[in-house]
Structure 1
């Protein structure tokens, strides 16, 4: 993935978060409820991962679930 792809992923995730009415601070608080003390994260950490394109797929799925979405893979239509 190139820089533009990372930016698109970041913007897509952030737009879903905003549209759902959640803030990153609230999402991270919810994420941390289910984590051991040594596995807790911060809004800054998640934001940095989004910016760098290093966020884990499992974290993206966790965020999606919190804001009421699920990630679905569909085959591309062939012409």
Structure 2
């Protein structure tokens, strides 16, 4: 599962036409992030990206994070089990 999230975010970076270094440079300049590619890579690998960081990353790539209802009627409760 972890590699799926990392790969998904990296695919957004590639589709946006940026390199990891360019994204890190933008995040550093705009939001004060570390200018180290390895720090971003580690966050993606460990899935330790905070929500505010995800919003900032999306912004740097020209995306918005939009909340919307699921297409499926399957809901996941607090315990993680589908209802």
* TM-score tier (shorter): 0.7 to 0.9
Counterpart pick for 1:60 among 54, 64, 67? 54
What stretches of structure 1 of length at least 5 have no aligned partner? none
Q: In the alignment, what sits opposite 1:29? A: 25
* Structural mapping, 1:42-61, within 5 Å: 42-61=36-55
Say whether residues 1:15 and 2:11 are aligned partners. yes
Q: Tell me the alpha carbon deviations over residues 23-63 of structure 1, each in whole angstroms, 9 at most, x when there is no partner.
A: 11111111111345xx5341100101101111112111111
> Which of the pair is proportionally richer in helix?
1
- How many residues align? The count is 73
Say whether residues 1:40 and 2:34 are aligned partners. yes
Provide runs of 4+ in structure 1 moved above 6 Å: none
Q: Give me the TM-score of the superposition, normalised by structure 2.
A: 0.75
Higher relative contact order (CA 8 A, sep 6+): 1
What stretches of structure 2 of length at least 5 have no aligned partner? 75-83
